[in-house]
Amino acid sequence: MTESRNTFLRSMRTVAWAFLGLRKRSGHEDDLSHLRPSHIIVAGLISGAVFVLLLILAVRLATA
């Protein structure tokens, strides 16, 4: 259970770096060998939803 949780947290970190566009080649290759594709997909969906919600919040605050 701990390894699965650690892998998912690593997936979240990988997706966060991808959102920023900053990745080292060595880090990318290491992630490809250790992460599950399903974790990357779920982490991407969660991160995308949080990003959209933050944008909506920012627009509401700016227009209020």
- Residues 6-38: tens digit of each pLDDT: 788 888 888 888 888 777 777 777 777 778 888
Dihedral of the alpha carbons of 39, 44, 49, 54, in degrees to the nearest 10: 120
Higher pLDDT, 23 or 41: 41
Which residue segment(s) compose the domain that 45 sits in?
2-63
Q: Is the pLDDT of residue 3 over 80?
A: no
H-state helical runs in the chain: 2-20, 25-34, 37-63
Total domain count, the chain: 1
Buried-state track 8-42, b at ≥16 Cβ within 10 A, e below 16: bebbbebbeebeeeeeeeeeeeebeeebeeebbee
